[in-house]
Structure 1
């Protein structure tokens, strides 16, 4: 979905006549590329106003409910089409049920057995054969720092962390001080009590999440030891109505540059984009290339536009 509308935003953003829907789409895609956010910046909320999934992502798997389910906690349901060999990897997986309907919601898997899964919480009733889709939220798998159960999510603008799963794994190389460390590590203790280390659900209500900084504090497990590895599935971004003005201005500037340029050398025409009392004006690029390429070196992305977008760029290290 484009971040600007060539018709509705023509006056407010100062769009030139050549800005078409195709150029608005291409400019928005270029913004996503520069921000290193292929899922885009827009998310969808359910009827309760909860951020549920990223509108720019496509499902990586689709299943159907084997029977009706009612609202409740720890709801057990059968799923048709699920591969039993992969069911053990579903802990914490976020499933969007009945997408594009009034009962759409995002739920997560908190348990499994054979071809049945347990959903931590369900707010709406769903009928048999309801579609369940995975892969519509952002997934980060990270190692927790030693003795510090906090991490910073890579995407600014965290809207909602939907699920967290943790497990014990091998320690960092720097922690292998003694040769017998592996015999007393949390992973070995866990394997002795519970079997091979598997992903365990983390009670999301016990985690501390700062949506401004993206910092997440992950609570310890039932063994009273912090996890080694964590998986966080979350939604980051805004709705089209709450999208920051800086993103819209930068997108408009890129779309204007596309409309005012061609594949030959061009003059020093000026372009301007504005939203409210903010505006951005710069000289048109001297030469342009593929409008869908994007990247930090794109001639459409001026230093002013990059400066406006940088606060929303995904972090390389967090």
Structure 2
């Protein structure tokens, strides 16, 4: 288990979250094997690795939630650079873990929900490419939508090249861009809905806390960007499995380009559900006369970052759009020019 915490710590450092990385490296030796949390971690039913269930990130989120809710003020120095020596960390962590054993055990039951807004840069670019390719406006279905922040990607501004989306948007996406630019093809997003097994209702204090807890404490700019997206009042995702949600969304014919997408959520679906989703989309895509697009911005075993894979029907065509940093800090765009 310790190796999983170390690997997630390495990822955090690579993303500029050194304070969170420091916390993760200390945690494995501070968890009592006889506690409810220790037993839950030891007997984890799935894959605890960062690339799968990501148990280390769940626990880091739980501790951050305790800090944000003022239930564990003694954690505060850990999140301030240089405020606590390494030798002091274990005693503080053991005390917090003991006092909040039940609460942390409950917190890690649900998958991480960062709802990283910067990932929408890939959605905006793909939407313009799709409009240029199909000539159609869009409807959208997001799998693993968390709090639904990226369901309003059409209201974000991608500030690369000539710019894409409303320039006065409170959400400004500024990834480092490599490669050619997508075509400027303004589109209308007529209907955007999402699903999640445990959707976050941002009108509820505890759900808002959970969303903020998964934003690493040493990255306040991510918190500001998230709050800007919240100000746009995104729709609440449906509480549903991805396969049941898609069965409903694809049951009736559609007249526009139907974009199905996920951003770093695919790893949390079971093998069986992945197979069912793939079969359903493939079948309905082949049957439909209107365009169907399946965009996955997901880990694909390659590096750097996540692949941006777009499958299109009725052509049964796969387009590799490029690669994107897992937090949307950069995009390498390799998509071909859309057909005239």
Q: TM-score, normalised by structure 1?
A: 0.22
TM-score (norm 2): 0.21
The structure with the largest alpha-carbon Rg is 1
More strand per residue: 1 or 2? 1
Higher helix residue share: 2
